[in-house]
Structure 1
Amino acid sequence: MDRILINFNAERTVATVLLNRPEKHNGVDWPMLKAMRKAQKDLAAVKTLRAIVLKGEGPSFCAGLDVKSVISDPKTAAVMYANLWLPTRNIFQSWSTGWRDLGVPVIAVIHGNCFGAGLQLALGADIRVCQPDAVLSILEAKWGLVPDMGGGALLRELLPLDVAKELTMTGRMLNGDDAKKLGLVTHVEADPQARADALIAEILSRSPDSVAASKFMLQRIWGIDQAANLTQERRWQRRLLGFKNQRISVAKHSKREAAAMPFAQRQIR
């Protein structure tokens, strides 16, 4: 089954990128990471494209990294760890920040659980439309880690430093309304797809050159030294992953506790 699906409207001006592991609440595994990077590159080549919608199939937008699939394959785990040592943006960080390279608006439509990697993906979008009862969390603290999929670099554009620290240190769960009050999401709607469609219709009435230039200009103004910020994500994650206190954090969430939780709340990122 394809991990990522891309659907176009009739004019190929709007693409919907669908995370497609509904039975796993769109938990992110290595094939999904690679498929998402390919989707970004493929869409960059579509000359008619004017807007992108990011969605999740099934009950959740994205419940985070599917840890079981990663640790069950030592080769995959080794490759993923090696990415932390790359001197430039890695595939994990491209998961979110890769959407900023495309000169069209990207809108995340959030429902269900949006944890860790899922929230970082949403942060990489230009606009986030969220259902009121969605649940969002920077969940890495639960597992003794830091967000290293672009989340740290992107949070600084949306939140005051103290709020970003609090949410990252606690892994607190937020509903859509709470997330809106803090600035994590742009809109809260019972029908987020309808709001996304309306936003796209409004943006499509503008010059595509103006839209692209506005996106890139504002990102550069707000995102000065983004590469340096991504470097810090990789550096600090390397200092945590696999060491004593991180292993203790994982041990606190034993198989017995995990078995008592819904699958989506057992994700790491």
Structure 2
Amino acid sequence: MSERISVTKANGVADVKLVRSDKMNALDDTMFSALIETSEALAKDPEVRCVILSGEGRAFCAGLDMGNFGKMADGGGSGGTPSGRQPLAERTHGIANRAQQAVWGWRTLPVPVIAAAHGVALGGGFQLLLGSDIRIAHPDTKMSIMEIKWGLVPDMAGTPIMKALCRDDRLRELTYTGRIFSGAQAVDYGFVTELSDNPHADALALAETIAGKNPDAIRADKKIFNQLQDMTDAEALLLESVLQDEIIGSPNQIEAVKSELGKRTPVFTDGR
């Protein structure tokens, strides 16, 4: 896909890897572009039913490239926007700016995304991890909402996701201090779904299971879950009914029933 990200596809699963291993997959400008372009390309691919997001080498993602902090120091001073930097409040990708879209693009991908984390997931790398639907991590993975270390706030779409996952007081403590916590602690905090000594292998097994289900229903499931937070109960009830009406009696739904009754592997079609 690019010099920063590799994508391999098999059996409906897109295996996406950050491949800047010499820098622990840190986020430079090229990596931001690659993350956005890759999520956009996968969103348009009707054959992709599930995505795995992981990092090559020793880490998932070490966060913002150190060179970016050097630029901040050079452009620092009193008030205003450092010279040459686009104001972050400007929306460039729907409701998001460019940096946020590097995470939000995975959150809004129409199919499930499973992140497999090891080594470190720090700052922007931690927010990237949160962009997935499901997160599998090695128990020793080091994580942190690290932005405060650099005098910043988390601003890569992480805050609306974190508030839905973590207890408010714990989230505030982690954000105010920037302290590092383990993958095992992240499960207790609500950030990580499950632990694994081999996160990528377990993510692949789970992705293959999901890819073997009715892709129309899976896409509808994600659409529901992505909208629930901003909907009233009445709106949520209506949405599930509307989507179910679209699915009932469709070829893939009928195939799901027939394969289940016939105790055989279903054969679904893509491109709905």
Quickly name the TM-score band, shorter chain normalised.
Answer: 0.7 to 0.9
Contact 1:30 1:70 survives alignment (8 Å): no
What is the rounded CA distance, in whole Å, between the counterparts of 1:223 and 1:24 in structure 2? 37
In structure 2, the residue matched to 1:7 is: 8
In structure 1, the residue matched to 2:86 is: 82
How is 1:24-173 mapped onto 2 (pairs within 5 angstroms)?
24-69=23-68, 71-72=70-71, 81-87=85-91, 88-173=95-180
Q: Secondary structure at the match of 1:16?
A: strand
Shift, 1:67, TM fit: 2.9
What is the rounded CA distance, in whole Å, between the counterparts of 2:46 and 2:212 in structure 1? 17
What is the rounded CA distance, in whole Å, between the counterparts of 1:110 and 1:139 in structure 2? 17
- Normalised to the residue count of structure 1, the TM-score between the two structures is 0.77
The structure carrying a bigger helix percent of its residues is 1
How is 1:155-234 mapped onto 2 (pairs within 5 angstroms)?
155-223=162-230
Shift, 1:143, TM fit: 1.2
Shift, 1:192, TM fit: 1.0
Cα distance change, pair 137–16 in 1 and its aligned pair in 2 (3 A): same
Structure 1: state its 5+ residue gaps. Answer: 226-269
Contact 2:6 2:19 survives alignment (8 Å): yes
How many pairs does the alignment contain?
Answer: 221
Q: Secondary structure at the match of 2:164?
A: coil
Cα distance change, pair 53–183 in 1 and its aligned pair in 2 (3 A): same
What is the rounded CA distance, in whole Å, between the counterparts of 2:44 and 2:226 in structure 1? 21
What is the rounded CA distance, in whole Å, between the counterparts of 2:86 and 2:164 in structure 1? 28
Shift, 1:201, TM fit: 2.6
In structure 2, the residue matched to 1:260 is: none
Structure possessing the higher relative contact order (Cα contacts under 8 Å, 6 or more residues apart): 1
Larger radius of gyration: 2
Counterpart of 1:48, as a letter, is E
Task: Provide the aligned C-alpha RMSD in A.
Answer: 2.1
What is the rounded CA distance, in whole Å, between the counterparts of 2:181 and 2:83 in structure 1? 33
